[in-house]
Amino acid sequence: MSLLSAGQAAALFAASAALLVLFFFLRQRARRVVVPSLEVWRERVPRRTNPIWRELAALLLQLVAAGLICAALVETEVEIGDDSSRPVVVVDGSASMEPRLSAAADLARSLEAGVVLAGEDVRLLASPTDSPGQREVGLQRLTAGVAGADLDRAVALVRQLGFEPIVASDEPLGGARVVGEGLEDVSIDEVAVSAGPGLPPEYAVRMVVTNHGPEARSVSVRVESATEILGEADLELDPGQRLERTFRMDPVEAEWVVARLADHTDDLPANDAAFALLPTLRPARAWLVSDGNRYLEDVLALMPGLQLRVIDPSAYRRPPADLDLVIFDRVAPAGRLDCASVYLDPPPSSGPFPPVGRAQDAEFTTWDYTHPVLRGVTFRHLAVEQVSVLSLPRLKGHVIASTDDGPAIVASTDSPRSIAVGFDLRRSDLPLTVAFPQLVYNLLLWARQDASGLAPGLARTTAEGIPVDPGGPVRVERVDAAGSWAFDAGVSRVGDLPPGIYQVEDRSSTRLEALRHPPDEHGTVSIGAPIPAPPSEDEAPPERPRHVLLAAGAFLLLLLEFLVAPR
């Protein structure tokens, strides 16, 4: 069907309107006839009267109907036809499609198709009616993003333009999937660094590595700062295997690290590295409140990385909350502490577990070796001259060791942590055993469990972007590579950034942010044969062609004009 352009339709309507108006003024009007009597005309004369408003209404309806008919003949902006050899290829623009974009471009060329890129936004790169040269210009802008793809919106847009979409993607859409041979892809899914409670303080580096390819791979994972290589580990991964490993790392003068696959190439290099911020390591600090205990002072001085302060009981003051441990040797403070504490042979009616009695030459009958303080510690025999029987408040204490007379070593289950030992170290053979240094080391680790610091939150994904304060200007600079961006006030999220470390300056703060590859954007399949996107189950029925609706409207107006026009 040959249709008119908008200009041609306007000219046709102008000509039609001129003819209708000319006919309105030139058509024959009723003539005046003089008759001897109106008696025989009384019934017919009222029905033959032609008021002017009916004539004008009829003319207006004719003009509108003519306009609708001309509009029905206008060609649509995108020609809708039955030429299925000129479809529109909807290309998934998510990060996992990076190694497949050349295949998607070849697919569009072979089908002589239009191209729509579905990323965070939907962009029409080439129309099906474009020439090969115009299509090539559009394909030059075919790039993968750093986040996901809004395929549903892209498919809906193509259908609104009147074309049937063909999806080039590695993800399912409405039950259809474009599949092919698997790609080679090993990814570092995530890296998280926490501050461990060890002595000396150290980092715990947790990483997750996955082999998405069809074959087993041997990879080397290297942890680096901006200036040096911090460690390397070799991993063997079967097809589809996901490995989670945690490594110890000594303190470094850095704010962030990157774990990357060393000397490795695959089809999706964007996920071969992951970034993490480093938490602040707190040095181990302890006080010993005693009037003299050579055993304790000597073993504490051997603890690596421990900052020890020995305080005379008469000079004792309330310790700060960031102190790891206070050891009270045969003394006890008044009031509750804000840090972990150990009470050795506490005086009567003092400490969290006040002694309620004394036993001479008591034998220990039970030990709870599952408690962290006794990890790696074993006592075949422990000789103690005198043991205090400790009170145990209901539901607030855990018995670590006991004698026939009652609890002898008790730990609290509340925070802050505390332990009471019901005997004097100097009046026992405990300091002479090989277990004593291990026991003191365990006490320090147990005390630092609440003070070692939390790991920074897992790096944000590139799909999430970086949230910023919209109340002022924003500056974002990449730290691990070149790149900087500036934004005016009103921006609440900075997106479309590759994985890396960024320094963010907004109205509220200046901080470092880590971005990682989206965990669901990995290479699993390549592009195979094109598959038409199936219609959605809740998709509305197809609309009737526009020219049919306009023609139907014109017919109804002409019918109304027939009823209105005088006869």
CATH number of the domain enclosing 405: 3.40.50.880
> Same domain, yes or no, for 426 and 481?
no
Residue 20 lies in a domain: yes
Q: How many domains does the chain have?
A: 4
Put residue 147 in one of left, alpha, beta given phi > 0 → left and psi -120 to 50 → alpha: beta
Task: Say if residue 316 is in the same domain as residue 367.
Answer: yes
Say if residue 99 is in the same domain as residue 74.
no
DSSP string, 358-369: EEES--EEEE-T
Asked, for residue 33, whether it belongs to a domain, the answer is yes
Which backbone phi and psi does 542 adopt, to 5 degrees?
-60, 140
Task: Examine the domain organization and report whether 502 and 529 are in the same domain.
Answer: no
Kindly state whether residues 370 and 438 are assigned to the same domain: yes
Both 339 and 440 in one domain: the answer is: yes
Residue 29 lies inside a defined structural domain of this protein: yes
Torsion of CA 270, 271, 272, 277, to 10 degrees: 110
Verify that 319 and 412 share a domain, yes or no. yes
Q: CA 247 to CA 203: how far, in whole Å?
A: 8
Each residue's pLDDT tens digit in the chain (567 positions)? 456 777 777 888 888 888 877 777 776 555 666 767 666 666 655 555 556 767 777 778 778 877 778 787 776 544 434 444 468 888 888 887 877 888 888 888 888 888 999 887 888 888 888 888 888 888 888 888 777 788 888 888 888 888 878 888 876 655 444 545 567 889 999 898 888 777 888 888 889 999 988 889 999 999 999 989 999 999 999 998 999 988 888 888 899 999 999 999 888 888 899 999 998 887 889 999 999 899 999 999 999 889 999 999 999 999 988 888 999 999 999 888 888 999 999 998 888 899 998 988 888 999 999 999 999 888 878 899 999 999 887 657 899 999 989 999 999 878 788 999 999 999 999 999 989 999 999 999 888 875 555 556 678 888 889 999 999 999 999 999 999 999 999 999 998 888 999 999 999 999 999 998 887 777 666 655 555 655 554 444 444 566 677 777 777 777 776 666 665
pLDDT of residue 388: 93
- Are 318 and 396 in a shared domain? yes
* 216: CB partners within 8 A, 6+ apart: 236, 237, 238, 239
The phi, psi pair for 525, rounded to 5°, reads: -140, 160
Range of the domain at 136: 88-181+525-544
Whole-number Å distance between alpha carbons of 139 and 117: 10
Same domain, 156 and 127: yes
Asked if 364 and 379 sit in the same domain, the reply is: yes
Structure tokens, 437? 């240094």
**For residue 51, what are its two tokens?**
């008021």
**CA dist., res. 376 & res. 440, Å (int):** 12
- Do 161 and 30 belong together in one domain? no
